[in-house]
Structure 1
Amino acid sequence: MSIEVMHIVNLFKFPASSVIPQVNLLYDESTDIFPSKLYELSGNAKFTVPENSTCFLYQHQGHSVLTGHYNLPVYAGMYACVTAGEIKAMNGQAIIIERLNYRGMFSIGGEVEPLGRLRYIDGCTDSLLVPPVKFGDACLNALFFPVNTHQTPHTHPSVRIGMVIRGHGICATPDHQVPLVVGDIFVIPTDTIHSFHTDANDELVVIAYHPDTDFGAKDEDHPMINRSLVNGVSARFIDEIRTKA
């Protein structure tokens, strides 16, 4: 299966003031085990967060206002996890990734830092911009590929949806060498062999959405219960006092 790179919706090529207000569905995997959709939000369009969904927003240009959360603005370079209300574009451009049948926790952050906080592979680093609230939850990452990166080919057990926010590079598959520049939105289908590469002149930074994780807090393993001690013993190991479902 080949990587899908949607150059036709490269947001960087179109000044925010020149685009038609629209909510454009770019990718739809509603029937997947981890159902997800990808939208472009532009101009002065409005997007209503569907019931029983959580939306991950990255603001590319201009700004948006989150009306379901005290009319909070999200400016270019910022990101958010939105669980209710409307996302109103204000002469701006953004991507929205909807995770269906999932309830996240509202948050706003940004701008993306210059370097990842977690070591990844082949000299790359990663930051969890929106971490999973509980084990298995969806997350939003920033992936950092320094100059002269030649990543080991690999796969992911679920879809990856991303956007280039700094620099340029190449995504390689067994069949293609796909150039990536700022504003490119891409989808890497489940189990697709791929790797990212940069040259000596520029880094590559991408926003990356994961619809699922094998990481996060559990009812029996989280900081509050782990660090609650009864006679020196963590409550994690005292089944009779742990809150039951």
Structure 2
Amino acid sequence: MSESGESHAPVNAFSAYAWQHGALSDAFSAWTDDVSAGAPGTTHFGYVHDGAVRLESDGRAWTVHAGQYFCVPGRFALRARNSRGVLMEHGGWRGLFMIGGPVEHKGRLRYIDRCSDTTLIQPVRRGDPCLNLLYFPPGVVQTAHTHPSDRLGLVLSGHGTCIARNGDDDERIALEPGMIFCIHAEGRHYFSTDRGDELRVLAYHPDSDCGPTDDDHAMINRTIVDGVSARNLASIRTRDDATLERS
């Protein structure tokens, strides 16, 4: 019961999706066949789980193999070549085109409870979406936690368990390679692995609270005029006008 006296249904923390071609949720889809998607003002993040896919965009084409990921703004097509993978759509934002990978085995940044992560696709500006690798070593029991927005995920390898507050009760969900899932915003959950198992997960975040800004980025901070960073020299700073690229 809230302070206003209204009752609210419990938040379901975890949803799993079967492998099928097409939309899985509003922002999440999978492919097992050819895809034509995208529109001006949208950006898609993608990951190739099996096989290889031909990515076509803006009159050019690239072959993207299993274990690789990509970010493509606007319209694009995928020629599946007996592959399968996942797509995450972000509307009202234009990302930077990129193809990366293959994904490393472990993360490079410390996370929580001995886990680690790597930001595979960085926020272009602070607040932008990002794509991440999460690594869970053997014998981990995470601290229960929530996230302020959805986390769209794919189990890359290994085995583990998600203990998720679905409704009023905690549910134990076995995590297997190739499993597609969503941790819903504000859903209480944690991950665990047995002593002989490790777990690797691809996780898409639709937002962030880190990344560069006009007043804080590597180029402006490390441009020095007579010992003073250009960050602190308003007289020479580029003013905001129509020539700047905006996402």
Q: 1:222 maps to what in 2? A: 217
Native 8 Å contact 1:49 1:87 kept in 2? no
- Gaps (5+ residues) in structure 2? 1-10, 241-247
Note the C-alpha offset of 1:100. Answer: 1.1
Equivalent residue number for residue 62 of structure 1: 51
4+ aligned runs moved over 6 Å, structure 1: none
Aligned Cα root-mean-square deviation (Å): 1.3
Question: 1:114 offset after TM fit, Å?
Answer: 1.4
Pairing partner for 1:102 from 93, 96, 99? 93
2:36 alignment counterpart = 47
Bigger radius of gyration: 2
* Equivalent of 1:6 in 16, 39, 43: 16
Helix, strand or coil at the partner of 2:159: strand
C-alpha deviations, 1:46-78, integer Å up to 9, x for none? 232222111010101111111115210110111
**In 1: Cα distance, 2:24 partner to 2:14 partner:** 11
1:93 to partner: Cα distance: 0.3
Aligned to 1:33: none
Alignment partner, residue 65 of structure 2? 75
- 1:8 alignment partner AA: A
**SS, match of residue 91 in structure 1:** coil
Q: Distance in 1 between the 2:135 and 2:89 partners?
A: 23
Query: Take 2:206 and 2:17, find their aligned partners in 1: how far apart are those partners?
Result: 23
TM-score by length of 1: 0.88
For 1:40, the aligned partner's letter is A
SS at the partner of 1:86? Answer: strand
Letter in 1 for 2:202: I
Q: Does 1:164 align with 2:155?
A: yes
Q: Distance in 2 between matches of 1:96 and 1:104?
A: 14
Question: Any idea what SS the aligned residue of 1:224 has?
Answer: helix
Measured in 1, the distance between the counterparts of 2:109 and 2:143 equals: 18
What letter is aligned with 1:221?
D
Quote the Cα distance in structure 1 between the aligned partners of 2:177 and 2:134: 14
Size of the alignment, in residue pairs? 224
Is the counterpart of residue 138 in structure 1 residue 129 in structure 2? yes
- 2:17/2:24 contact within 8 Å kept: no
Q: For residue 34 of structure 1, what is the aligned residue in structure 2?
A: none
1:195-206 to structure 2, matched below 5 A, reads 195-206=190-201
Residue 16 of structure 1 is matched in structure 2 by none
Give distance in 2, aligned partners of 1:224 and 1:67. 32
Query: Any unmatched runs of 5+ in structure 1?
Result: 10-21, 29-36
User: Displacement, 1:202?
Assistant: 1.1
Quote the sequence identity (%). 43
Q: Is 1:178 equivalent to 2:164 in the alignment?
A: no
- For residues 16 and 91 of structure 2, the distance between their equivalents in structure 1, rounded to whole angstroms, comes to 22
